[in-house]
A = this chain, B = another copy of it.
């Protein structure tokens, strides 16, 4: 991929949301439009979503300051129109409406060669390791491009990435007829609830200490909501000795540990919520004797998860609509980040259609 020289190479410049220097904040700044390499696709951006990751980059926390090398255009959730393609690109062309997978694999490690590119050890992530999509144009390898079905509107199409995280977490085990516990009702947890509610499960139980989130959980289709992971309560709400499936979407140490006690013997657990400190389990009692299966979830399966997202979004066009709490023009991005920081926002969508391109 040639887009690492995005900000230096070309002639024409456009306004992007940039981390210019290794410090707190993001700002609008000029970057050049690059010429796509032989395998690359240049996309004119229509809409983007702001992810928690973008907020970390804004806040310049420990993770961000270790990983990010400014100058960097942030952002990895987008929908747009193909503007130009490299000479070796055959599967999409100018005018196609597309989104894209932000995990760019190395292509030759064991994971990449066995259908697990999403966990490539040398992965480059859009808007983290390479120039992102918070700009009028974004460049990605052809193999990362996803053509968007006509029945999916721009607002939902720019959220394939987080929706795909939710989908991947849900689909990591069979869910048909299952009693499912979702721990943590952040954006992705809420998306997971939406998928489960129309996905053929027996029951969805959602947990979040925040009553606003619990209300959203109900709107998304949770059958029951709880303030915290209470094993006795979950046992009462299920009839198999606990949840068949537990999705950990909080990363919160206390919830994480208690959530394991809510799972029945033989149950399955998928972990997506990012943890920031060591969390101890009583392995024998909580995992081994119970015969649990635990799945660590990262990214989206390429492209099984994308096909599943497409299927759910076109069958249920408003599935994630209740989660889009803010729609802003791109140059008011900071309002969106502040809303996220204040806990008011669920999903913020930025509109790039009036960007000078």
Which A positions have Cβ atoms within 8 angstroms of B? 38-39, 87-88, 90-91, 107-111, 113-116, 118-121, 143, 171, 174-179, 195, 198-203, 240-241, 251, 256, 264-266, 271-272, 274-284, 287-298, 302-304, 306-308, 310-312, 314-315
Contact = CB atoms under 8 A, between A and B. Distances in A.
A166 to B, nearest CB: 13
Interface of A is mostly: loop
Contacts of A264: 110-111
A307 B177 contact: yes
Given A110-B264, A198-B200, A290-B296, 16 more contacts: A88-B88, A109-B240, A110-B241, A111-B264, A121-B265, A177-B310, A177-B312, A178-B311, A195-B200, A198-B198, A251-B284, A278-B282, A279-B283, A287-B296, A291-B295, A292-B294
Nearest to A256: B283
A21 to B, nearest CB: 27
B296 A39 contact: no
26 contacts: A91-B108, A107-B143, A109-B241, A111-B265, A113-B302, A113-B307, A114-B115, A114-B303, A115-B304, A116-B265, A116-B266, A118-B291, A119-B265, A171-B177, A175-B200, A177-B308, A195-B200, A198-B200, A201-B311, A202-B314, A276-B284, A278-B282, A279-B280, A279-B281, A291-B298, A293-B294
A205 to B, nearest CB: 14
Contact of A174 (B120, B174, B307): B174
A201 B294 CA distance: 23
B302 A294 contact: no
Nearest to A286: B296
A119 B296 CA distance: 23
Contacts of A108: 90-91
Contacts of A306: 113
A350 to B, nearest CB: 27
Give the number of copies in the complex: 4
Given A276-B284, A288-B275, A315-B202, A121 B241 contact: yes
Contact of A272 (B121, B251, B288): B288
A288 B280 contact: no
B296 A292 contact: yes
A267 to B, nearest CB: 10
Most chain B beta carbons < 10 A, residue from A88, A120, A200:
A200
B116 A291 contact: yes
A284 B293 contact: no
Nearest to A257: B278
Nearest to A172: B293
Considering the complex of A and B, which 5 residue pairs feature the smallest CB-CB distances, nearest first?
A115-B115, A278-B280, A177-B311, A199-B200, A202-B311
Given A121-B241, A276-B284, A281-B279, A293 B293 contact: yes
